[in-house]
């Protein structure tokens, strides 16, 4: 594996972000190609003279953006297969390109440098160490039953939604859960309604699985029931607590909508 070098003192940005940006550029520029292995967290931390937690945060950012993937017993492997990043002229006179951004409102970005990863990892390791004898290697496909039971209770108390643990699936991301939902539904029997504007990640997942998708405009109270009925959709994907992107909460009228039979 080739050596990597990075001058972490040349930038005022958080160290984990510099490492993340460095490997991201290496991948986009084609220096790291599909199926190449990144250095282990330990060796990368030693090379850059930083903590392993810092490298882990940088790698997790790359994993979340699907540039790399953690392969058991092998390490972090490049899975990005996009086009090579075009070269840009860095000698631009546009001051907006060199100006430091104080607040970043892009969707999906998280201020990871404010999260106490060191304390989190310490507590996590302590919990695992004390519960090793009861640790289950293979969990339930839908999520642990005790957790789903508590979620069913919370849904009823906070939302008035009647459900049971068997109707609940616990996943790591909305994309994963929508994908699981698509695998449970038949494309020729269901028409999906989605909020417009709304979360493109869910809409694109439905489309990729071959579903007919109808964008439903929003009113002040949420999804337009009139447009929803005219769309003939029998499933509606909504974000009830805080609609993306208008931040509204669904009204009781919208939540009481019944799909056509």
Helix H, strand E, coil C: the string for the chain is CCCCCCCHHHCCCCHHHHHHHHHHHHHHCCCCCCCCECCCHHHHHHHHCCCHHHHHHHHHHHHHCCCEEEECCCEEEECCCCCCCCCCCCCCCCHHHCCCCCCCCCCCCCCHHHCCHHHHHHHHHHHHHHCHHHCCCCCCCCCCHHHHHHHHHHHHHHHCCCCCHHHCCCCCCHHHHHHHHHHHCCCCCCEEEEEECCCHHHHHHHHHCCCEEEEEEEECCEECHHHHHHHCCCEEECCCCCCCCCCCCCCHHHHCCCCCC
| Residue 28 or residue 250, greater confidence | 28
Do 195 and 239 touch, CB atoms closer than 8 A? yes
CATH 3.40.640.10 fits 172-255, yes or no: yes
Domain segments of the chain: what residues?
9-83+96-114, 172-255
Assign 83 a pLDDT band (cuts: 50, 70, 90).
low
115-140 tens-digit pLDDT: 788 888 888 888 878 777 766 666 67
Residues 61-85: what's their mean pLDDT? 83
| Residue 164 or residue 107, greater confidence | 164
Residue 69: phi and psi, rounded to 5, are -145, 145
Assess whether pLDDT exceeds 60 at residue 1: no
Assign 222 a pLDDT band (cuts: 50, 70, 90).
confident
Per-residue model confidence (pLDDT) at position 6: 66
Per-residue model confidence (pLDDT) at position 110: 66
CATH topology of 9-83+96-114 equal to that of 172-255? no
* CB neighbour list of residue 220: distance below 8 Å, 6 or more residues apart: 248
Tell me which fold the domain 9-83+96-114 belongs to: Arc Repressor Mutant, subunit A (1.10.10)
Assess whether pLDDT exceeds 70 at residue 99: no
Assign 155 a pLDDT band (cuts: 50, 70, 90).
confident
Assess whether pLDDT exceeds 80 at residue 67: yes
Task: Quote the mean pLDDT of the chain.
Answer: 79
Residues 239-245: what's their mean pLDDT? 67
pTM: 0.47
């Amino acid at each position: 594996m080739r050596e990597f070098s990075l001058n972490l003192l040349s930038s005022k940005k958080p160290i984990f972000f510099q490492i993340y940006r460095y490997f991201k550029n290496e991948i986009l520029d084609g220096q790291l190609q599909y199926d190449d292995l990144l250095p282990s967290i330990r060796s990368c931390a030693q090379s850059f003279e930083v903590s392993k937690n810092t490298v882990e945060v940088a790698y997790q950012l790359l994993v979340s953006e699907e540039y790399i993937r953690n392969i058991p017993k092998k390490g972090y492997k490049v899975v990005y297969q996009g086009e090579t990043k075009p070269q840009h002229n860095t000698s631009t006179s546009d001051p907006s390109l060199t100006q430091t951004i104080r607040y970043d409102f892009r969707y999906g970005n998280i201020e990871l440098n404010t999260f106490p990863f060191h304390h989190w990892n310490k507590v996590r390791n302590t919990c695992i160490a004390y519960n090793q004898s009861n640790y289950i290697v293979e969990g339930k496909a839908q999520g642990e039953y005790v957790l789903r039971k508590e979620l069913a209770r919370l849904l009823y108390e906070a939302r008035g939604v009647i459900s049971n643990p068997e109707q609940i699936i616990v996943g790591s991301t909305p994309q994963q859960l929508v994908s699981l939902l698509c695998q449970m539904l038949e494309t020729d029997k269901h028409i999906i309604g989605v909020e417009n504007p709304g979360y493109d990640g869910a809409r694109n997942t439905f489309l990729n699985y071959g579903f007919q998708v109808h964008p439903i405009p929003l009113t002040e109270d949420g999804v337009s029931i009139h447009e929803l009925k005219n769309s003939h959709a029998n499933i509606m994907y909504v974000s009830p607590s805080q609609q993306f992107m208008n931040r509204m909460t669904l009204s009781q009228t919208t939540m009481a909508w019944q799909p056509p039979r």
